């Protein structure tokens, strides 16, 4: 199995390095890229083979997310939305995903329960044909139109306000919230990709850029900080692919992704503040991921895991 994982990692690396991330950030994930992700089997990674998917195990799936995030966090996040959110909710009604896993359509994921004037305010993949609603009872609706809004992170994903019609409940034992709760390890894998991608840039830059006639890597604070971060990157990789509890893994990944991507930007000085250097996006993505998926809901889950009962709600 280890050899298979190694081979998969190499293949995803090869694929990831061909992605034009600047274009993805600028214009969003287009049908062409979606088709490419589909043909690699990534869009249906977790869907069983007999249902037309790739039938991968969780570790293989997380390897795809991790390695792709290094190159294109948006592409990894798109794969995550389909496999970790849409598929569990729609597993009894896979018709909605037929076009999606072929790379012909997107599937909207609503982040907000509120429906105002037949529209949903915060939808990821707002350009899809359908949107899975954020309601407690799983439901789906047809998209009529959408107005784009800025999500700040994962720029390749279209985000916005979606006008909906023909809303209907679906038979499923999972809603968006439960799906997220089951996906912490995969979110940690995306964070790990963000960490690796930004760290790699900082390590490379600090080895060639000079200030005061020496390489940045020769300054203690830079070398020590980056090295400590590489240590944490390795620890995170080990615990993601181990049986350490997924909430612990996610918690460890969250602060590290934000801190490491921020520091990597910093090492680039003024250049880090510009899109062209491809490092600021990791900081935005880490923040967006934390803002959406980490908060009191998650921390209550974590505490429940530790205490074995509800805690931390006051």
Partner 1 sequence: MVEGRDIQCFWSVFKMFEELDDYRKKVRDFGLSEFTEDLIDRYDKTEEYPDDIRLKALKSGLIDMSNPAKILISIEELCRIDAGLGIAATIPYFGGEVIMLYGNEKQKRILNDVYSGKYILGLGVTEPSGGSDVAGLKTTAKKIGDKYVINGSKMFISNGGIADYIVLLARTSDEENKHHGLTTFLINTKSPGFEANKLHGKLGVRATNTAELKFNNLEVSVDDVIGEVGQGFYYIMTFFNISRIYVAAQALGIARGALDKILEFVKNNNIKDEYTMFKVSDVSTRIEASRQLTYNAASYLFKFDPKPALTSMAKVYAGETAVYASELAMEITKNDHKTQRFFRNAKIMEIWEGTSEIEKLIISRQILKGGN
Ligand X SMILES: Cc1cc2nc3c(=O)[nH]c(=O)nc-3n(C[C@H](O)[C@H](O)[C@H](O)COP(=O)(O)OP(=O)(O)OC[C@H]3O[C@@H](n4cnc5c(N)ncnc54)[C@H](O)[C@@H]3O)c2cc1C
**Residue list 218-237, contact with ligand X (CB under 6 A):** 219, 221-222
277 binds ligand X (CB under 6 A): no
Angle (deg, nearest 10), helices 184-208 and 246-267: 20
- Contact between 270 and partner 1 per CB under 8 A: yes
- Interface of this chain with partner 1, residues 221 to 240, rule: CB under 8 A: 221-222
Contact 305, 247 (CB under 8 A): yes
Task: Select the binding partner of residue 18 from partner 1, ligand X, none (C-beta < 5 to 8 A, by kind).
Answer: none
Backbone angles phi, psi at 153, to 5 degrees: -100, 175
Tell me whether residue 202 or residue 249 sits nearer to ligand X (CB atom): 202
CB 208 to partner 1: min, Å: 12
Measure the CA–CA gap between 285 and 197, rounded to whole angstroms. 12
- Applying CB under 8 A, does 312 fall inside the site for partner 1? yes
Instruction: Report the residue from 149, 209, 215, 232 that binds ligand X according to the rule CB under 6 A.
Output: 209
Contact 169, 138 (CB under 8 A): yes
Which stretch in 62-70, 75-83, 264-272, 300-308 sits in contact with ligand X by CB under 6 A? 264-272
Residue whose entry in the numeric block shows the structure tokens 């990692």: 9
Q: What is the rounded (10 degree) CA torsion for 64, 124, 151, 272?
A: 10
Q: Which residue is listed with tokens 């005061």?
A: 212
The separation between CA 304 and the C-alpha centre of its own chain, rounded to angstroms, equals 25
Q: Classify 59 as helix, strand or coil.
A: helix
**Which residue lies nearer to ligand X by CB, 211 or 235?**
211
Name the minimum Å distance from CB 292 to partner 1: 6
Neighbours of 291 (CB within 10 A): 12
Q: Segment near partner 1 (CB under 8 A), from 37-45, 208-216, 231-239, 245-253?
A: 208-216
Q: Which whole-number Å values give the CA distances from 251 to 12, 80, 81, 112, 261, in the listed order?
A: 26, 18, 20, 23, 16
Residue 266 binds ligand X (CB under 6 A): yes
Stretch that binds partner 1, among 37-45, 92-100, 239-247, 283-291 (CB under 8 A): 283-291
One of 5, 102, 287, 304 touching partner 1 (CB under 8 A): 287
Residue 191 C-beta: closest distance to ligand X, Å:
23
- Label residue 296 exposed, middle or buried (CB < 10 Å: 0-12, 13-18, 19+): exposed
Binding site for partner 1 (CB under 8 A): 111, 149-153, 210-213, 219, 221-222, 258, 262, 265-266, 269-270, 272-276, 280, 283-284, 287-288, 290-292, 294-296, 299, 312-314
Binding site for ligand X (CB under 6 A): 209, 211-212, 216, 219, 221-222, 266-267, 269-271, 273
């Amino acid at each position: 199995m280890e050899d298979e994982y190694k081979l998969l990692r190499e293949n995803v690396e090869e694929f990831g390095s061909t992605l034009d991330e600047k274009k993805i950030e600028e214009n969003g994930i287009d049908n062409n890229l979606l088709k490419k992700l589909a043909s690699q089997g990534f869009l249906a990674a977790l869907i069983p083979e007999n249902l037309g998917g790739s039938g991968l195990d969780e570790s293989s799936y997380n390897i795809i997310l991790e390695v792709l995030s290094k190159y294109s966090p948006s592409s990894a996040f798109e794969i995550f939305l389909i496999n970790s959110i849409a598929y569990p909710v729609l597993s009894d009604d896979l018709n909605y995903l037929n076009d999606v896993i072929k790379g012909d359509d997107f599937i909207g994921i609503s982040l907000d329960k509120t429906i105002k004037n037949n529209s949903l305010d915060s939808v990821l993949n707002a350009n899809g044909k359908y949107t899975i609603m954020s309601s407690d009872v799983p439901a789906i609706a047809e998209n009529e139109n959408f107005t784009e809004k800025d999500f700040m992170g994962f720029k390749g994903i279209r985000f916005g306000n979606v006008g909906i019609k023909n809303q209907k409940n679906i038979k499923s034992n999972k809603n968006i919230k439960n799906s997220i709760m089951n996906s912490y390890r995969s979110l940690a894998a995306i964070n790990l990709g963000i960490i690796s991608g930004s760290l790699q840039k900082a390590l490379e830059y600090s080895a060639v850029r000079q200030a005061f006639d020496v390489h940045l890597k020769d300054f203690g604070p830079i070398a020590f900080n980056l090295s400590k971060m590489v240590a944490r990157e390795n620890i995170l990789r080990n615990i993601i692919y181990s049986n350490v509890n997924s909430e612990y893994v996610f918690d460890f990944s969250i602060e590290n992704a934000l801190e490491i991507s921020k520091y990597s930007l910093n090492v680039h000085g003024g250049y880090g503040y510009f899109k062209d250097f491809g490092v600021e996006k990791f900081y935005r993505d880490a923040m967006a991921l934390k803002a959406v998926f980490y908060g009191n809901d998650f921390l209550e889950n974590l505490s429940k895991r530790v205490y074995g009962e509800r805690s931390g709600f006051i």
